[in-house]
Amino acid sequence: MIHEGLLRAGVGVLMCAAVCSCFTGVESTPRIGASAVREQKAADPVAEASYLADIRPEAPSDWKPGKVFRVADERISLIFTGQSSSTAGLAGRDIKFIGMSPANNLTGNNATEIEFSDSRGNRYYYRLNNYDKARLDSISSLEIPFTIDLDLVASVDRKMRGKHFFVRTPAWYTADSTFTETSGLRHVEVVVDSVIPGTSNFAAAVCFHPSDDAGSEYIVLMSIGKGKGATRTFDSLFAFDNPRKRYPEISDEVWGLITRSRVRTGMTRDECRLALGQPSDILRLPTYGGMQERWTYSDGIYLIFDDGFLTRYRR
């Protein structure tokens, strides 16, 4: 999320400069794509990356009757069989695991039916086709679509509640069930009040207040675990130490821009990365004046650096 403080750039000037230059070096231009950026990050592990590594879902073979899931999306009706009770109004409520039993699908292959109930005694059945008991016992985890495993959320809450962190993301939400996005700050100290169920995409809602403002509470949505869809992991959202201490050369004025996700001409690459995050693509272009870099972000923002300093950008 980029705020209104970013200035508008002259796109026409930029395109003209790129087209009219006698030597652009496009034929030998090195490009750093998103995959390379991810590999670079993976090659530089940080302590935050392992902070919640011990929190994993239970294997389905270990599920006990009474295990609770929060229904996070009304589309849960799509996964239950026709023998299930109506799911109207089920979103936001809890269902409990009852048990598993063998079943047969339409093709006659083995299947397993997982039974749930809600507080009103309604029953819901989720069928796993081609999963007999032996195969189900062999897997380490099982995700029930459109639900949140409350045991996982409780484990994260025990680990984070009352702790001080420095938040990396400006994507803050209001502290209510609507999860309305609001303007947040980067790299400021926060205190975690609790961790509650989030959304079907991001299971944990980390409730916190800035350390200098105990009266205001906000939420950051976070993934739990390191699965394929875990795009908002703890290490991408929070830091243990004050990042300001690692950059004593940055002036207080520029740091103020960084915390508000703003940039201005003359900022260095490190300063812009702190303000906007890692770009999805970096293109390097040799010019008569030296080396030029173009950083592109997934939301269309781009930055132009000449010899390491920001000269043009578009928000």
Rounded Cα–Cα distance for residues 106 and 192 (Å): 49
The more confidently predicted of residues 40 and 47 is 47
Whole-number pLDDT of residue 231: 85
Whole-number pLDDT of residue 238: 97
Whole-number pLDDT of residue 33: 54
Rounded Cα–Cα distance for residues 311 and 289 (Å): 13
What Å distances lie between residue 186 and 3, 87, 216, 229, 275, CA to CA? 12, 40, 16, 23, 7
Rounded Cα–Cα distance for residues 194 and 154 (Å): 9
| The pair of three-digit structure tokens given for residue 66, joined into one six-digit string | 């009474």
Q: What mean pLDDT do residues 82-105 have?
A: 94
Categorize the per-residue pLDDT at 3 as very low, low, confident or very high, splitting at 50, 70 and 90. Answer: very low
Q: What mean pLDDT do residues 195-207 have?
A: 95
Average pLDDT, the chain: 86
Whole-number pLDDT of residue 30: 53
Q: Is the pLDDT assigned to residue 270 strictly greater than 80?
A: yes
Pick the range with the lowest mean pLDDT from 16-25, 29-38, 256-265. Answer: 16-25
Q: What mean pLDDT do residues 99-115 have?
A: 85
Rounded Cα–Cα distance for residues 161 and 165 (Å): 11
Q: pLDDT per residue over 145-155, tens digit each?
A: 999 999 999 99
Q: Is the pLDDT assigned to residue 106 strictly greater than 70?
A: no
Specify whether the CB–CB gap between 3 and 260 falls below 8 A: yes
Specify whether the CB–CB gap between 207 and 196 falls below 8 A: yes
